[in-house]
Amino acid sequence: MALELIKEYLPYITSLGFFYNILKFGPGVARSFVDKCKVREFDIGDIFDELTEGTLHANSYITTEGYLLKYGQVFKPYTHLNSGWNVSKEKDIIAQLNKKNPLHKGNKSDLVFERERLLMPTQVIPHLGEIGCAFIYDSRFSGFVSNKDLSKSSNTDLLIENNKYTKPILVLYDLKKHSQYINKKMSLKGKIIEMPQEIFSLLNIENDDDIREICSNFYRPKNENNNVICLSLLEENSKVNFGFNYNLDQNFDELSIPLFVETKLDKFRNLESEEASQLIYEMLPNTVHKLNPSFGEKAWLLHDEGEDASSFPSTNKINVMYKDPGTVGFYTTTSLVDSEKYSKDLDELSTYINNFSIDYKNLSKKHFGEKDKLDITFLFDYNKKELFKSRDSNISFSDDKQWSNQKTEVSDTLKWLGQKSKSPIK
């Protein structure tokens, strides 16, 4: 009987001893204990709301879980379009169309183009010193955002599908300690801080309503306070752990991601749109005319109402867009869960653009009397720049100095954050 009573009250006795030790070793330990108890768990979409309402404060620690990805939809290139036109992949498309419209029957040799919705481009934020930037998405995240619903021609709203889970929060992490968690499902304990200006200046989100909506979990310019925040894993008390089934291929059958490169053709800046588009069309290998010469050599350039740029119908998966004066965008999609497919698609895109730069150099010599280089002004991942560098092209981002990771580009704020991480920036 006495043994049973001891077992029953042992948890309470243990707890009393625990609190006695807190009192014994002073208020410092007590404060530490209380602070640990105060760390709350949040969904990604609730953090900024509670911060705005005052129920959560800047410099507080929080815990959350989700997918920590390198990629964020934080910039919309000038030539981005909501949709592109590609040859239909359906085997019996001609027969299906003939059945629907028997008065205008097509032949088996005919090409049928379908309008495809394009994902908004993603971007990898370059690291500064030993500090990396990533985006944490809710654990219910199912894919990146398309710009508009093509089934509703009058729709001008973002297509966030059913969910708010496509809106991430930017995370600062230590490259030496946390790189193994990138593109994984994970849980973290991080500190809410004001985003350093050096990081914010790389995002280019201020001038586009769609991008501001996607970034609204960490950027709210109309707030009186706390306009731009991020989660920092650079503090000593921060923690990161892998989630259950943490690999992406354990959670997604497919996770499509856009690869986008934007370029400038300096020699085209004074050309009329029709002449410029015709010259570009003649350089492209995946046009209707190249596949079937009977379509004629005149450029096919399609422009949708409300769009700033136009697109060339594509006979493969690489879409090319054009906007005056002389801006050309290249778009394709790949997979984040299939590394072999990612490598193959990236190789095809870089080869396509490098060949285009050679053709542009030769065309410049023939048409304008002097050679010119292709100027790459936007790249989805700056770390991939070596794949697109050649003697026929330039990489010339306007903020290239900030992206060069020079020691002088790291501010006092970033140095301080680095020192807090026990992996200081040198």
Note the pLDDT of residue 298: 76
pLDDT band at 337 (very low <50, low <70, confident <90, very high): very high
Note the pLDDT of residue 190: 97
Residue range 12-23: average pLDDT?
44
Note the pLDDT of residue 255: 95
Q: Is residue 311 scored above 60 in pLDDT?
A: yes
User: Which range has the top average pLDDT, 18-22, 145-149, 294-298, 350-354?
Assistant: 350-354
Cα of first residue to Cα of last residue in the chain, in angstroms, is 65
Note the pLDDT of residue 405: 43
Note the pLDDT of residue 89: 60
Contact indicator for 334, 256 with CB cutoff of 8 Å: yes
Residue range 28-40: average pLDDT?
54
pLDDT band at 280 (very low <50, low <70, confident <90, very high): very high
Quick one: which of 238, 181, 161, 195 has its CA closest to 74? 195
Note the pLDDT of residue 380: 95
Cα 387 from Cα 248, distance rounded (Å): 25
Cα 76 from Cα 262, distance rounded (Å): 11
User: Which range has the top average pLDDT, 15-24, 27-36, 319-328, 396-405?
Assistant: 319-328
Quick one: which of 168, 70, 211 has its CA closest to 127? 70
Q: Is residue 232 scored above 60 in pLDDT?
A: yes
pLDDT band at 29 (very low <50, low <70, confident <90, very high): very low
Note the pLDDT of residue 13: 40
For all residues of the chain together, what is the average pLDDT? Answer: 80
pLDDT band at 288 (very low <50, low <70, confident <90, very high): confident
Note the pLDDT of residue 291: 73
Note the pLDDT of residue 368: 94
Note the pLDDT of residue 100: 52
Quick one: which of 203, 228, 181, 189 has its CA closest to 69? 181
Q: In three state form, how does the secondary structure of the chain look? A: CHHHHHHHHHHHHHHHHHHHHHHHCCHHHHHHHHHHHHCEECCHHHHHHHHHHCCCCCCCEEEEEEEEECEECCCCCCCCCCEEEEECCCCCHHHHHHHHCCCCCCCCCCCCEEEEECECCCEECCCECCEEEEEEEECCCCCCCECCCCCCCCCCCCECCCCCCCCCEEEEEEHHHHHHHCCEEEEEEEEEEECCHHHHCCCCCCCCHHHHHHCCCCECCCCCCCCEEEEECCCCCCEEEEEEEEEHHHCCCCCEEEEEEEEECHHHCCCCHHHHHHHHHHHCCCCHHHHCHHHCCCCCCECCCCCCCEEECECCCCEEEEECCCEEEEEEEEECCCHHHHHHHHHHHHHHHHHHHHHHHHHHHHHHCCCCCEEEEEECEHHHHHHHCECCEEECCCCCCHHHCCHHHCCHHHHHHHHHCCCCCC
Whole-prediction pTM value? 0.80
Report which of residues 423 and 197 the model is more confident about: 197
Strands 374-379 and 327-335: unpaired
pLDDT band at 154 (very low <50, low <70, confident <90, very high): very low
Residue range 87-92: average pLDDT?
59
User: Which range has the top average pLDDT, 12-16, 127-131, 311-315, 384-388?
Assistant: 384-388
User: Which range has the top average pLDDT, 47-51, 110-114, 221-225?
Assistant: 47-51
Quick one: which of 123, 159, 4, 139 has its CA closest to 68? 139
Residue range 285-313: average pLDDT?
77
Q: Is residue 229 scored above 60 in pLDDT?
A: yes
Residue range 76-80: average pLDDT?
91
pLDDT band at 5 (very low <50, low <70, confident <90, very high): very low
Cα 213 from Cα 57, distance rounded (Å): 22
pLDDT band at 225 (very low <50, low <70, confident <90, very high): confident
296 φ, ψ (degrees, to nearest 5): 90, 165
Whether cis (ω within 30° of 0) applies to the bond prior to 325 is yes
Cα 407 from Cα 94, distance rounded (Å): 60
Note the pLDDT of residue 49: 94
Strands 40-41 and 61-69: parallel
Note the pLDDT of residue 260: 97
